[in-house]
């Protein structure tokens, strides 16, 4: 499933996760593709980003964040918070709260 919002916000999240990973000596996560401003974000990209931030929590011995929709069910993954799908909002919160061990 692809979402129909700008990928700019997603790219900002990717960069923030990369910074957290780099700060702990982790390599940035693998990416299937590079996002351009007009491209759509799909569920696999969200799963990859969740996995990348989970590495930060694991490296610091912290519990991995709980996701509202851990499987990204297409019938629920379009829930909106602050104008953005809830799963992007949750990743943003996970980045903001990520430990710096």
Q: Say which residue the tokens 């909106």 belong to.
A: 80
Q: Say which residue the tokens 């061990």 belong to.
A: 101
d(CA 2, CA 41): 5
pLDDT tens for each residue of the chain, 101 residues long: 444 456 777 888 889 999 999 999 998 876 666 665 556 677 778 888 999 999 999 999 999 999 987 777 666 555 655 556 788 889 999 999 999 88
d(CA 76, CA 80): 10
d(CA 28, CA 80): 28
Q: What are the structural domain ranges in the chain?
A: 8-96
């Amino acid at each position: 499933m692809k979402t129909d919002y700008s990928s700019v916000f997603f790219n900002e999240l990717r960069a923030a996760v990369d910074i957290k990973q780099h700060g702990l000596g982790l390599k940035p996560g693998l990416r299937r593709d590079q996002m351009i401003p007009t491209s759509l974000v799909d569920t696999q990209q969200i799963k990859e980003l969740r996995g990348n931030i989970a590495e930060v929590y694991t490296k610091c011995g912290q519990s991995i964040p709980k996701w509202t929709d851990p499987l990204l069910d297409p019938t629920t993954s379009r829930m909106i918070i602050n104008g953005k799908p809830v799963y992007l909002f949750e990743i943003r919160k996970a980045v903001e709260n990520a430990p710096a061990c």
